[in-house]
A and B are shown apart, each in its own frame.
Chain A
């Protein structure tokens, strides 16, 4: 039982990271109808920025965090201008390919600048964790879960309770109508990209002390986060979060009880099973094009 609870805790912790990245996917998808395949690289870049500022330059953790997040906001803006904006009036396919190109560009630029050696980022707190009954609660996992819940709450408040949230929602539902009503659609999309890059960045910085900071971390996280969005129901915010936790738990248990080398395959297996059995996900995507 202790082992089971321990795994559950770890799975939820890692799932929280997938949930954050999945949230970024969903926000961009809802605003632009395009899946951003470079979403995972936002996490990777942020983790490397953190290594540069907190480890290499030795700045205080909080300062390094703020600077890294500011960097991610900038990256999100540039990304929107160079990768999405020139293609905004084309079909989804060119945009999708363009984000894949951006993903390759980002991960390999970091490789060229920083080398292929995996880096270590220490955790936020000095206390490694504490024992609670049969479960050892790692402090970094607690931080991950805490921050994720706080961000989800923040996002709920932003979208449901503020005017800018309403404008963002209007943009994602009907761009033409939103434009006619005076919503600055281009600015809303810009905000979405910046916010998603920041979300991905926070996820990357949170998970970095648990994983190694490597070039591959972005694509691994992104693929699992994407699996999470499909399991939850594509385009659904609550689904993305729930799906993220589900993927985290599934792969932790798969690795412990079935096979460690095939750990990364479990998320994809779950994805394929869902696609065949329940493609609309837990919460269901709004599909159907009007004839």
Chain B
């Protein structure tokens, strides 16, 4: 990932050289076939590097999407005499629609369903291709598939395939650092945190899946033109596994890795042809290789090489000045209102008709003994649980019907009791994802503006100089601060902190206390849940106290802490 101007130029030069070589160097038919297969397969493997590498979802039907493209070009040019380009575009479109359809039906569910449904799709397609003989020619396959007139020679067509490979490779490479690519990586690393950052997790997954299928269709369409013959047995479940193995072997997160993996897995079997004399042996080795790669080389060959040469450097970002916070303000005195909120899990009433109002610009504490329903309340307010009853209003707007990411867009920001960061990314990238919340009025969507704001948010919590480090190198306390920075960068209307002091030592708590004072001074409305009464009493102006899911007190901090019922709830007196 990443990319400097030099990187772009180098890529363009290498790609141009490869296309020129493919167009001019005379090779015998055998080598040309291998190159053709490698180039078209690699395009399909790029698709997997999006869906698996960037988005962390599985697709065990890439050969089926490949088949959709191949059969569109095959049947279209051979049986219906349609122009090649039209068939190719149709094949890609069909694959995208099929991918999006599969995704829409399953991606709300866990990954196992996706694995299963993609296998099912693969099997059904194979059954159809084999048995719908009148339309697909059945097991005999489709022959005399056409090519566009300008690329009729094998040499020219190979150059076309390499060109397509170069262009798609570039796009997939660049995708990682776009808004969409960051959203995919966020979904891969932590779905709940992605929702809390305003990312539509479901939509992001469906898009990743559709893109993956589309690239499969493109590779398949080019493959059909290249070999002028396709049959159902070329696109079976085991071919989907071969494509998956190519992605895993090369390194699933990068198009260069994908190309290496594809090339190796096409060449190695050619070198080891003798293995094919025993049916099954070759695929048995494949299966064992999959396990070995997953166990010993989780990032693939390219990831392995990348770790040896960890030179990746971004132009270090200058300190970016003070963090601007400009929470949306309708003028009403109440920033967040909770009315009659209830949540039960089965028979358990975790929250039972809670009301409270958070004043604009105030620091509001939500406290209560363990199990009193504080975190449940926060999860219902931020949309992670659906309420059984009640309403939530942000700045006067009823958000009760909205899902979590839309509530973030509507102005709620939050942190989690168990830290939820995007662990494979740098601190800066984490905060950039926060900053690009739709509805954040303070940044244009230009990337350097986002990065400057993210840097400013990291400076605000005191970690600006470590912006380029990835999450695992930060201490627990610093990870909490990064999570707060991510929420702040989004410029929320109301910030909700779920036990920010939990697990911090006394000096870290002092830093947190100071940070909360500075946020409040900027005029941001904060709701804080914590057990540390020194911290709460020191920062909160108002308190709402819960016990057994009900509100037992509400008011100015000093008054609430002396109420007998509150004292009883905390000290257990009757």
Contacts and interface: CB of A to CB of B under 8 A. Distances in A.
Interface of A: 29, 35, 37, 82-83, 86-87, 90, 92-94, 96-98, 100-113, 115-116, 215, 219, 223, 226-227, 230, 234, 261-262, 264-265, 268-269, 271-272, 275-276, 279, 287-289, 291
B283 A104 contact: yes
B105 A275 contact: yes
Contacts of B379: 291
Contact of B192 (A113, A219, A264, A291): A291
Interface in B81-111: 105-106, 108-111
Given A96-B112, A105-B284, A112 B279 contact: yes
A106 B287 contact: yes
Contacts of A112: 278-281, 284
A102 B58 contact: no
B115 A37 contact: yes
A108 B241 contact: no
Contacts of A102: 287, 291
Interface residues of B, number: 53
A113 B128 CA distance: 31
B384 A291 contact: yes
Contacts of A108: 280-284, 286-287
Contacts of B106: 275
A98 B294 contact: yes
- Binding site of A, secondary structure by majority: helix, strand, loop or mixed? helix
B129 to A, nearest CB: 12
Given A93-B111, A275-B109, A101 B294 contact: yes
A261 B136 CA distance: 15
A230 B114 CA distance: 12
Contact of B279 (A92, A111, A289, A291): A111
A271 B384 contact: no
A268 B58 contact: no
Interface stretch (B117-125, B253-261, B433-441): B117-125
A234 B283 contact: no
Interface in B258-278: 278
B479 interface: no
A285 to B, nearest CB: 8
B287 A103 contact: yes
A180 to B, nearest CB: 18
Contact of A101 (B115, B119, B291): B291
Nearest to B121: A268
A113 B279 CA distance: 9
Contacts of B113: 230, 234, 275, 279
B116 interface: yes
Given A96-B111, A101-B288, A104-B238, A272 B294 contact: no
Given A98-B290, A104-B284, A271 B127 contact: no
A100 B384 contact: no
A87 B115 contact: no
Given A87-B295, A100-B241, A272 B287 contact: no
